Amino acid sequence: MFIALLLRFFGGGMLLLAVVVAASTEGEKAPSIKTVTIATIKDKSHIGECGCWLNTIGGSSNSTVFYSENAGPGSKGWMNIDGADTQVLLDEVKRPKKRLKKGEGFTEFYSSDSIKVRVEYILTRPCESEDCESWGLDAKITVTRGKTRGTLSVTGECGCG
């Protein structure tokens, strides 16, 4: 009955379009969206006494999701990606040449095999004196593996603890 009504109202061309659209969507599933999971580093032996530690916001010092040696290009970083502690190497640092002030930032780029990591830092507690041993940071970590991506906002510090 409905088809006959459509034929009368719209003519045969419109019905063909409706059938084609219905046939093309039948059986199709919505694409699943996969993300990279960033979690707490499991093996604490990867975390040194000096470097940069980034923790989940509101988490304890035991919730480190990113650690870097903070020793320039080629230095090691560690993070837990998709359930496995993974070593990444520092490829590039983009920072102003001048001394950073509170609220200013810089970016570091790391990689390992098919993984790319971008860490965008914002200085929250700068060193105020020459004998300063640590400084505070907020950061956004973005991990890309192939076509999947994960992002996490974190907080932490660099120095020697």
**Judging by beta carbons within 10 Å of its beta carbon (0-12, 13-18, 19+), is residue 103 exposed, middle or buried?**
exposed
pLDDT band at 11 (very low <50, low <70, confident <90, very high): very low
Could you read off the pLDDT of 34-78 as tens digits, one per residue? 799 999 999 999 888 899 999 998 877 778 999 999 878 889 999
CB atoms within 10 A of CB 107: 14
Q: Where are the domains of the chain?
A: 1-30, 38-160
Could you read off the pLDDT of 75-103 as tens digits, one per residue? 999 999 999 999 999 999 999 888 889 99
> Do 153 and 142 meet the contact criterion of CB atoms below 8 Å apart?
no
Q: What is the C-alpha to C-alpha distance for residues 152 and 47, in angstroms, rounded to an integer?
A: 19
